[in-house]
Amino acid sequence: MRKNIQAQTSNGIKVLVVDDEIGIIDSLSIFLKKSGYIFSGVTDPLEAIEKVRSEHFDLMILDFIMTPIHGDQVVEEIRKFNKELYILLLTGHKDLAPPLETIRRLDIQGYCEKSDKFDQLLLLIESGVKAINQMKTIKEINEELKEANSKLETAYMESIETLRYTVEAKDPYTKGHSDRVSEYSVLIGKYLGLSDEDLHTLRIGGLFHDIGKIGIPDSILLKPAKLTPTEYSEIKNHPAIGVHILSNAIIFKDIIPIVKHHHERYDGLGYPSKLKGEDIPYLARIAAVADTFDAMTSKRTYRDSLDLDFVQEEIEKNKGLQFDPKIADVFLDILKNHYDEIEEIRTKYN
C-alpha cells in the first residue's frame, strides 16, 4: 500500500479521502487542495479507521467497493467511536451502492457516483462544509451555555434566530415561513390539549425545522423552475443535514425528531426514514401538517399561493395518506371554525 499523502495547510477544513485506487486519490488531492481544503488520503481502509481514531478530520470521502473491507464496514467501525465525522460515499455505479437503510443507519450524509468530472461531488462537499461550520457554531454556543446557565433561554433563542435567519435570508419567498409553521404547530397542539412542555418543543421545533437547508446549494434552493429528480434528491437531504448540525448540542435534543421527521408521511412514503403511522414522532406529525399548510398558502417563485378551499380539500383528501387523520381533522376544524386565529398568524408574519 502507498503511504499517506501528507495534508497541506489551507482553509481549516480537513478532508480524508479513502480509495484503494491511487489514481482517484491523486486526482482528488489536486482538486481539493486547489479548492482550499486540507487534504489527506489513504488507500488502505483499515488504515483509514485508525487515522480517524488518532486524528481529527471534518469530512471523509470514502469509496464503497474496496479491499479488504468495503466502505460501509469502514463507517460501521468509525461510528463506534466517532459520531460527528461528515461522510460522503463514492460508488462506481449507483447499483453498487449500499442499501438506503444502511446509509441512514450509519449516518452517511451523502453519496454519488464516480466520474471524471467532480461537479456533483463539489456540490456535496460544499453542502457538507456548510453543515460542518454550522455544527461548529452550535458547539461553541453549547459551551458558552454550559458556562452561563442563567442565560440559557436567551442564548438558546438567539442561536436559533441567527441560524434560521441565515436560511430565510437566501430566499425572500420563505420569509416568515418558520415563524408561521411554529405558530400553526402550537395552535394545533393547543387544540389537541398538549402540555406546555410539548407546546414549547413545537414552538422551537417549528422555528428550526428547515435549518438543514443551510447545507443546500443556492442554485437548487433558489431555482425558479421545477427541480430535476437529482436536485429534488438533494433537497431531501435537508432534514439529515439539520440533525447533523443540531445533534451535538444537548439543548436541541427535544426538537431533533421534528427537524428529522417533518417530511415523513403517514402512509410511509415520506423521507428521510419512510416511517409510517404512529412510528412517526407525534410532534413531527403536527409540524408536518403546519408545514404543508404554509407551503400551499404561501407564494413561491414558480406559483402563487393556493386557494384556501383547494388547500382544505387537499388536506381532507390526504388524511391517512400524507397526514395523521386525527391531527388533520383538528386542523380542518380550526380552519373551519377558528380561522381568525390562522389569519392573525398570517398577518403577523407576512
CA-based nearest residue to 106, from 277, 297, 244: 244
The residues pairing with 14 across neighbouring beta strands, listed in sequence order, are: 38
| Contact in structure between 272 and 236 (CB atoms under 8 Å) | yes
Q: Which of 14, 130, 213, 260 is catalytic?
A: 213
In single-letter form, the type of residue at position 251 comes to: I
SS3 336: helix
34 is catalytic: no
What does the alpha-carbon distance between residue 66 and residue 44 come to, in Å, rounded to a whole number?
A: 8
Bridging pattern class, strands 38-42 and 59-63: unpaired
| Contact in structure between 182 and 207 (CB atoms under 8 Å) | yes
SS3 43: coil
CA-based nearest residue to 62, from 83, 31, 41: 41
Question: How many helices and strands (H and E) does the chain possess?
Answer: 16, 5
In single-letter form, the type of residue at position 338 comes to: H
Cβ neighbour number for residue 210 with a 10 Å cutoff: 22
What residues are labeled active site? 213
